[in-house]
Structure 1
Amino acid sequence: MTPHELSTWPRSLPREIDIPPTNLCANLLVSATRYPDRPVLVDDFGSLSYTELVEQVERIAAFLQNDLGVQPGDRVLIYLQNGRGWVAAYYAILRINAVVVPVNPMNKREELPHYLSDTDAVVAFCGADNVAEMLAVPAAQQLRRVIVVGNPGPAETQPEPVNEPARTQARTIGLRRVLAAASGHATPLAHLPDALALILYSSGSTGAPKGCMHTHRTLTASTVIVAHWMGLVPHSVQLVALPYFHITGMQNLLNAPIYGGGTLLLMQRWNREQAAELIARHRVSHWTAMPTMVIDFLASPRLAEYDLSSVRRVGGGGAGMPEAVGERLKALTGLDFLEGYGLSETAHVSGNPPAAFKRQCLGVPLFNTDLRIIDPDTLGELPPGEVGEIVMAGPQVFTGYWRNEESTRAATLMMDGKRFVRSGDLGRRDEEGYFFIVDRLKRMVNASGFKVWPAEVEAMLHEHPAIAEACVIAAMDPYRGETVKAVVVLRDALAGRVREADIIEWSKNRMAAYKYPRLVEFVVELPKSATGKIAWRQLQDSEREKTLRATA
């Protein structure tokens, strides 16, 4: 079903939009021309105007091109925490048609070699707090320079000494020195829409991470789609609490707001009290968040102290928003949590119309996007109501995996003359064209032949007044083969007052006999990825190891 067939499509929006065939950096340059003095970002060190950011981007681009010989198509790593240095480096790399390779700054030296060797990176931007990790990797010797980014000081252009560790040929130079020493200008901006712009590595839950290739055209498509759908206009203020190395942070919280001429309000790390204070002080209009972040935010006992009335839109994805949590958010702010959906391979592909919102729903296909449900075995399209694999086609989907044609072929298929990407997610479509996620294709509990989707059980567990967070996994059962286990974080006020048996009995009264958790384990916190998603696979693997030890 295409957007043309949706009766709930917002009347104020066109059904399709044109995608400019430009370099992604052009969005920053255009907004800077229109709003030169407007803050493009605000952080702990003050504000930075659009004009000031463009000046930094041009200086860095000139240094990369003239001093380091970076050519179009060369790969450049960004191994940084969110910050103004990340933003400036990102647009500078794109400005000269080199390729951005974001790396999770939480990665340690054992995890870095793959990013260096797989991409043959020539330069890396590295945080001052993790430069030692980078320089300890033998493959870092291939780098022409490691540009070290620290906190901005009172004299941003003061030079820093060059540090050349004896153990490595990779040389370091501080970003302040780059900004001060850059000579000449970068070549005029070349618009090469189909040139590679980004290699975004997947989480690598099975095997080595795979690099998703995005061009300027695919990223621009996602940028324009998100900006129009979210209503990002020049005076929008976006709270940034998700990492830029992730597709959601990069598109929803960087490229799309800058395309619209808005302001980025950067948080170095998530803190619920600081988030509430920033929303009130800077009159935040848009907040994109993970459900786990909203759960933590709503648990703050101090929310009544802050004026949150400026927020016009709250939404996100990555995991389903429990209905009970969504209702608490609505009671506090008057806003629904507008869930959307996308992958590293596809960026943003669906969203909920604000005026026709459905809870625990991925929404409808966005502009120019085709979503379908197929049988994962036969690859045939399934009718509304049936569960199958979600696949998507559109101008924002990736061109393939870097140097991995086999994985690219496995992840894509042709239907009706369109190239679709297989998500690996199980979902269904209702009669109105809304999509719902059921679970990961391989995440399922098979209890005596009955299939249990963990996300469904988790959503119900969140309705329990004592449960703050829950993750459902499969546990081995000598009779049923597998049984449902819930790993639970209790609310602080009720910790120690609720027993595992209480949760099981409560669930038994609300869920089918094959579905309710037979086992409950209380933990202080659930493991999470850097983007805030609950690391269910880590819990599942731990449970399997525990079973193997017990039966050995």
Structure 2
Amino acid sequence: MTWLAVRCLPGWLLQTLFCRAQDARATAAILFSSGSEGMPKGVMLSHRNLMANIKQTSNVLNTQHDDVVMASLPTFHAFGFTVTQLLPLVEGLPLVCHADPTDVSGVAKTVSQHQATVMFSTSSLLRLFNRHPKVQAEQLHSLRIVVAGAEKLDERVREGFMAKFGKPIYEGYGATETAPVVSVNLPDTLGSRSQPLQKGHQPGTVGMPLPGTSVKVVDPESLDELPTGQAGMVIVSGPQVMQGYLNDPERTASALKTLDGQRWYITGDKGYMDEDGFLTLIDRYTRFAKKADFAGAKRLAEQQLREP
């Protein structure tokens, strides 16, 4: 019956029958972090967090009505959940899925078959594309943009992908606590006559903050803002910053701080901003590197959910 209704009824009637108002501040999803600092934390994200990050990401990627999104990242991870699942659904973009992100041959065939134009992945998975002898450049010809996140992009992966497929990889940055995207590199664009080229990417950086997102580099102890080019703690403010951690007010208080009336997420990442506004990450203050261990994160999260 629902299928028939969607096929036959006008949009205004479908909205009346099926759409219900929701409190934008209510929790929409609870995602578990990768556990790079111990047991996973349940990150509470509101409808506003998710919708804001979807709109921010869609805006900077300049999504088109004829774009097709290739989705192969797991939905228990914030990158896969928000960017490769919710974004195309909310923006009305065609979405093609492949269940196993490590099956790069299968992903490449899906891209070729459906002429996908946008693909999100990780450095580890893109390395598999470079190494797989059966994945050919022609299969990824339709892609107009490839974005890597969830872990630091290996420069050898970037160079190898460009050499094999002729496609640049644009690195982004985020965290589960920011729903997840904070910043991203983008293709350069033509501007006005006074500024013929608008620089959108700087290799080695994680790009510029999304619209509506503030990023500062501060002293890790005093939280005082540091000068441009000086390394310190990266903190993030914006509508995508989480509500807090599930049943953990102590960790929430440690991660979320109000500075000059603005709410900030303390990332734990060490980095610096250059004069052009590009963010470069150096290390983790906790001395734990973030890894895209999707299977391990899921296993630990399921264990925590089973506990009383």
TM superposition score category, shorter chain reference:
0.7 to 0.9
Aligned-partner residue type, residue 352 of structure 1: N
Q: Deviations over 1:120-144 (max 9, x none)?
A: xxxxxxxxxxxxxxxxxxxxxxxxx
Q: Distance in 2 between matches of 1:412 and 1:422?
A: 6
For 1:208 and 1:375, locate their aligned partners in 2 and report how far apart those are by CA, in whole Å. 27
Deviation of 1:284 after TM superposition, in Å, equals 0.9
Tell me the amino acid that sits aligned with residue 209 of structure 2: P
Query: Match for residue 392 of structure 1?
Result: 236
Is it true that 1:224 corresponds to 2:68 in the alignment?
no
1:225 offset after TM fit, Å?
0.9
Task: From the superposition, tell whether residues 200 and 305 of structure 1 become closer, same or farther in structure 2 (CA, over 3 Å).
Answer: closer
**1:350 and 2:114 matched:** no
Q: After superposition, where does 1:100-115 map in structure 2 within 5 Å?
A: none
Report SS of the residue matched to 2:136: helix
Instruction: Look up the equivalent residue of 2:54 and give its one-letter code.
Output: T
1 or 2 for the larger relative contact order (CA 8 Å, sep ≥6)? 2
**Distance in 1 (alpha carbons) for counterparts of 2:137 and 2:217:** 45
Match of 2:106 among 274, 288, 306: 274
Which runs of 5 or more structure 1 residues have no equivalent in the other structure? 1-31, 38-49, 53-94, 96-184, 445-453, 456-526, 534-552
Name 2:191's counterpart in structure 1.
Answer: none
Taking a change above 3 Å as real, the CA distance of residues 410 and 311 of structure 1, as seen in their structure-2 partners, is same
C-alpha contact (below 8 Å) 2:205/2:279 kept by paired residues: yes
1:393 shift after superposition: 0.2
Do residues 294 (structure 1) and 126 (structure 2) align?
yes
- Is 1:203 matched up with 2:42? no
2:115 and 2:20 mapped to 1: Cα distance?
Answer: 35
Alignment gaps of 5+ in structure 2: 8-14, 189-198, 298-308
Shift of 1:278: 1.4
| Amino acid in the other structure paired with 2:24 | P
Q: How does 1:229-240 map to 2 (within 5 A)?
A: 229-240=60-71
The code of the aligned residue for 2:46 comes to T
Partner of 1:404: 248
Q: 1:208 to 1:309 in 2, by over 3 A?
A: closer
Q: CA deviation at 1:363?
A: 0.5
Partners of 1:293 and 1:532 within 8 A in 2: no
Please give the secondary structure, in 1, of the residue aligned with 2:147: strand
Deviation at residue 531 of structure 1 after TM alignment: 6.6
User: Which deviates the most, 284-293 or 381-390?
Assistant: 381-390
Counterpart position of 2:74: 243
- What is the DSSP-based 3-state SS (H/G/I as helix, E as strand, rest coil) of the residue aligned with 1:354? coil
User: Corresponding residue for 2:209?
Assistant: 365
- Per-residue CA deviation, residues 501-537 of structure 1 (Å, 9 max, x unaligned), is xxxxxxxxxxxxxxxxxxxxxxxxxx9611799xxxx
* Aligned equivalent of 2:196: none
- 1:504-515 alignment runs, 5 A limit: none
Q: Does 1:441 align with 2:282?
A: no
Q: Cα–Cα, structure 1 residues 331 and 187, in superposed 2: closer, same or farther, change >3 Å? A: closer
Deviation at 1:259, TM superposition (A): 1.9
Which position in structure 1 is the counterpart of 2:165?
A: 333
Q: Distance in 2 between matches of 1:402 and 1:190?
A: 24
SS of the aligned residue for 2:177 comes to coil
Could you say which residue in structure 1 is the equivalent of 2:224? 380
Deviations 1:199-247 (A, max 9, x none): 1122334454322111111111011111112233332211111101111
User: Judging changes above 3 Å, is the alpha-carbon distance between structure 1 residues 305 and 295 closer, same or farther for their aligned structure 2 residues?
Assistant: closer
Partners in 2 of 1:207 and 1:302 — Cα distance? Answer: 38
Whole-angstrom CA distance in 2 between matches of 1:301 and 1:409: 49
Equivalent residue number for residue 192 of structure 1: 23
Distance 1:317 1:267, change over 3 A: same
Q: Distance in 2 between matches of 1:436 and 1:51?
A: 46
Tell whether the 8 Å contact from 2:72 to 2:97 is kept in structure 1 after alignment.
yes
Q: Distance in 2 between matches of 1:421 and 1:204?
A: 17
Which residue of 1 is the match for residue 156 of structure 2?
A: 324
CA shift at 1:349, angstroms?
1.2
Answer whether contact 1:351 1:364 (CA < 8 A) is retained: yes
User: What whole-Å deviation, never above 9, does each CA across 1:2-43 have from its counterpart, x for those lacking one?
Assistant: xxxxxxxxxxxxxxxxxxxxxxxxxxxxxx9xxx99xxxxxx
What count of residue pairs does the alignment treat as equivalent? Answer: 276
> Is 1:227–1:259's contact at 8 Å kept on the other side of the alignment?
no
Separation of aligned partners in 2, 1:207 and 1:305: 40
1:402-551, aligned counterparts within 5 Å?
A: 402-443=246-287, 529-530=293-294
CA distance in 1, matches of 2:46, 2:294: 25
Q: Tell me if structure 1 keeps the 8 A contact 2:69–2:94.
A: yes
Question: Structure 1 residues 264 and 187, CA, compared in 2 at 3 Å: closer, same or farther?
Answer: closer
- Answer whether contact 1:393 1:420 (CA < 8 A) is retained: yes
What does 1:160-171 align with in structure 2 at a 5 Å threshold?
none
- Contact between 2:158 and 2:169, CA under 8 Å: does it hold in 1? yes
Partner residue in 2 for 1:285: 117
Separation in 1, partners of 2:182, 2:36: 22
Bigger CA radius of gyration? 1
Amino acid in structure 1 at the alignment position of 2:85 = L
**What is the one-letter code of the residue matched to 1:227?**
S
Q: Counterparts of 1:261 and 1:206 in 2: how far apart (Å)?
A: 36
Q: TM-score, normalised by structure 1?
A: 0.47
User: How has the CA–CA distance of structure 1 residues 293 and 409 changed in structure 2, closer, same or farther, with 3 Å as cutoff?
Assistant: same
User: How far apart are the structure 2 equivalents of 1:532 and 1:322?
Assistant: 21
User: What TM-score, normalized to structure 2?
Assistant: 0.81
> 1:467 aligns to what?
none
Percentage of matched positions with identical amino acids: 31
Structural mapping, 1:51-62, within 5 Å: 51=6
Residues 1:259 and 2:90 are matched in the alignment? yes
CA separation of 1:217 and 1:319: change in aligned 2, threshold 3 A: same
2-side partners of 1:532 and 1:339: how far apart?
23
SS in 2 for 1:249: helix
